[in-house]
Amino acid sequence: MKPWSRLILVLGMHRSGTSTLTRALPVFGVDIGRQHLARADNPRGFFEHPQFVAINERILSAFGADWKSFKTLPMPHFSSLLAGETGLMARAFLQNYCPQDSLRGLKDPRASRLLPFWRPLCAALNISLTILVLLRNPANVAHSLAKRDGLAYPWACALWKQYVCEALLYSHTLPRLLVSYEQLIERPRSELMRVARFLGQPFHEQAYQTFAENFLDPALCHHREKKIGSDPCQLLYARLLPLTEGLEHHQLDSPRFQRALFSALEERV
């Protein structure tokens, strides 16, 4: 059966990095709407739909959690939420945001942990879901969170690991691509052409020029540590980084790799 519509969901721990990738989606003809949610620490906008963010915050709140909690969210609770008022709100949102034959994009780092809620809902609505997971060196993410939110470095690293592992575990068997933030900043054209090939979408040169001239700014990348350390987060990053170089991600779906992700979640940072 032909999908009702197609939704590209951008996931990852780094809010500014996922904003950059989301802002690039029109290069592939993906409609991201007009919601920018600019703030002093990101004047160009976060490109998050406020209703999508509000629903995700509502889901986390139902678990007694927020974006900086890294406790495991119990699976049975997702089914309960889907069957209740939150599920009705989310269904109405998707039906409105993804009209028939549309190609839309959404982004909210919180959704990295909430795919057990959104994935079955998209399936029920016949919305084809494709996942882009932004990967950035966890040391840079931790420094950014320490500066912006005052989080301790170990806590920020634990959050990075939780978000990345759960995004990859919960997107198992879905079409998905790991996108390197560092490559997106340093070699934007080649990295976005790789994304275009994965999505099976044309690369719109004029949209790329608009993105490159009006949004892409390497100066916004305040922390640019390239060295890979030996702590658990860095070892996981080192294992994932080679998968940002091609289009084949069969390794991500292998039982061995899934077990490695589960093990990484259980390790202390």
What is the average pLDDT across 42-51?
A: 78
User: Model confidence over 171-204: pLDDT tens digits?
Assistant: 999 999 999 999 999 999 999 999 999 999 999 9
The domain ranges of the chain are: 5-266
pLDDT band for 99, please (50, 70, 90 cuts): very high
pLDDT band for 1, please (50, 70, 90 cuts): confident
Q: What is the largest CA-CA distance in the chain?
A: 49
- Higher pLDDT residue, 251 or 139? 139
Write the class of the CATH domain 5-266.
alpha beta
- Whether pLDDT at 268 is above 90: no
Q: Tell me the pairing of strands 127-135 and 5-11.
A: parallel
Tokens of 230: 């030996």
Q: DSSP string of 34-84?
A: S----BTTBTT-----HHHHHHHHHHHHHTT--TT--SPPPHHHHHHHHHS
- Measured between its terminal Cα atoms, the distance across the chain in Å is 45
What is the average pLDDT across 60-71?
A: 92
Buried b (16+ CB within 10 A) or exposed e, 32-60: beebbeeeeebebbbbbbeebbebbeebb
Any idea which residue has 């703030």 for tokens? 39
Q: DSSP string of 96-146?
A: HHS-TT-EEEEE-GGGGG-HHHHHHHHHHTTEEEEEEEEE--HHHHHHHHH
* pTM (predicted TM-score): 0.92
Sheet containing strand 103-107, strands side by side:
103-107, 5-11, 127-135, 176-180
Among 134, 224, 196, CA closest to 205: 196
- Whether pLDDT at 230 is above 90: no
pLDDT of residue 254: 83
Q: Work out the angle at residue 203's Cα, subtended by the Cα atoms of residues 201 and 204, and round it to the nearest 5 degrees.
A: 120
pLDDT of residue 261: 87
pLDDT band for 72, please (50, 70, 90 cuts): confident
- Higher pLDDT residue, 202 or 263? 202
Q: What share of the chain is helix, strand, coil (3-state, %, to 5)?
A: 55, 10, 30
Calpha distance 191→199 (Å, rounded): 13
Among 262, 30, 204, CA closest to 130: 30
> How many of the other CB atoms lie within 10 Å of CB of 163?
23
